Amino acid sequence: MKRFLVLFVPFVLASSIGGAPAWSAETETVFKFYCAQCHGLGGKGDGPNVTKDFPVTPRDFTSAKEMDKLSDADMKNVILDGGPAVSKSPLMPPWGKTLTSEQVDGLIKHLRKLCKCKGKQG
Amino acid sequence: MKSILKAALSTAFLIAAASSSSAEPAAGKAVFEAKGCAQCHYTDGPAREKTIDDQLAKKGPELWYAGSKFQKGWLAGWLADPKPIRPLKFNSLDEENADDHPKLAGDDAANVTDFLMSLTVDAVEAGVIKPKRNVKGKQIFIKKMPCSGCHQASGRKGKISGGRSGPSLVGAGERLNPDWIYAYLKNPTVFKPVKAMPTFAGILKDKDIKNVATYVSNFKAKKK
């Protein structure tokens, strides 16, 4: 049993942290399917829903300045429960009943890649 | 033995029911296939999509529950003279709807309407939603929830505003069955297991899902 664990654990770590290419391709698909509607295919906050009627600008994920204000936990919060959960606009939808927790974790990593920033720690 | 008899009886009943409601659904099905509609639309449920890639591979919306989703009068008119429903091209975020949906001539449109209206599902309970003004539903649609961020609707003086990634809901009260709107919001995965719209069941209370369905089912194309 112990030997099995020893063999198994490094494998899990390698496949989740080591950035298996299949996984990030999947996350990119998830981002483009759900989030790009407002945040834009490149994440700049310029999706097709953002017309002159759209009252707030969806976060530009490529802005390290804005994105550095958020910790990973803040991001998870707003993705699961929507804008109002963090006193932001209700136009940011709650995705908690739509996405799996693996998809949400993947998206957070994807947003960090887009902003090239680490975010608020803790 | 009893159950065989029951089955035989109900089969006889089904055949009788199908033939008594005239032959149009069968004629319409033949037109649907002959005109190539089936290349872009599937008409046999349940839902097939399991992944985002499955959804993106589709060339048109699924029609297997069309009889529960649409209003007959709207469908007959639209098949003969289709106008864009989705502002953007189906499954695209960066191309406009080209307004090039195949048209059907008079008789064909009527027969295909009968065929599509015969595709009903039990998941839509009849008589739950009565279209009318609904202040709570309006607040949810415009203020509390992001509906207007992805859907167009007509507001004061018929001015159309709203997002462009979802189907336009202008005139939704003339196009969609009110009870389908509720069933879809309440139990979306039966109809669309993979969809770019967030699931609101479990986020909105049942009462509020009814409120917003009531509000949307009252959307008119033109102010009367």
Between CA B66 and CA B64 the distance in angstroms is: 6
pLDDT digit string, tens, across residues A7-62? 444 444 444 444 444 456 799 999 999 999 999 999 999 999 999 989 999 999 99
Rounded distance between C-alpha atoms, residue A72 and residue A121, angstroms: 8
Establish if B1 touches chain A: CB-CB under 8 angstroms.
Answer: no
Q: Which of A83, A82, A111 minimizes the C-alpha distance to A96?
A: A82
pLDDT-based confidence at residue A120 (cuts at 50, 70, 90): confident
pLDDT digits (tens, 9 = 90+) for B28-62: 999 999 999 999 999 999 999 999 999 999 999 99
Does B25 reside within a domain? Answer: yes
Q: How many domains does chain B have?
A: 2
**Residue B125 domain-assigned?**
no
Whether residue B93 has pLDDT greater than 90: yes
CB B162 within 8 A of CB B152: yes
- Structural domain boundaries, residue B185: 135-216
Residue A1 has pLDDT above 60, yes or no: no
Q: Specify the CATH number for the domain of residue B167.
A: 1.10.760.10
Of A40, A42, A116, A55, the residue nearest A91 (C-alpha): A55
What is the reported pLDDT for B156? 80
* Residues B156/B79, Cβ–Cβ less than 8 Å: no
Residue of B95, B139, B141, B145 to mutate, testing the A interface (most A Cβ within 10 Å of its Cβ)? B145
Neighbours of B56 (CB within 10 A): 15
CATH top class, domain A22-115: mainly alpha
ipTM of the complex: 0.87
Q: Give the residue extent of every domain in chain A.
A: 22-115
A33 and B149: CB-CB below 8 Å? no
Query: Residue B148: closest CA among chain A residues belongs to which residue?
Result: A91
pTM of this prediction?
0.90
Domain assignment present for residue B32? The answer is yes
pLDDT at B8 over 70: no
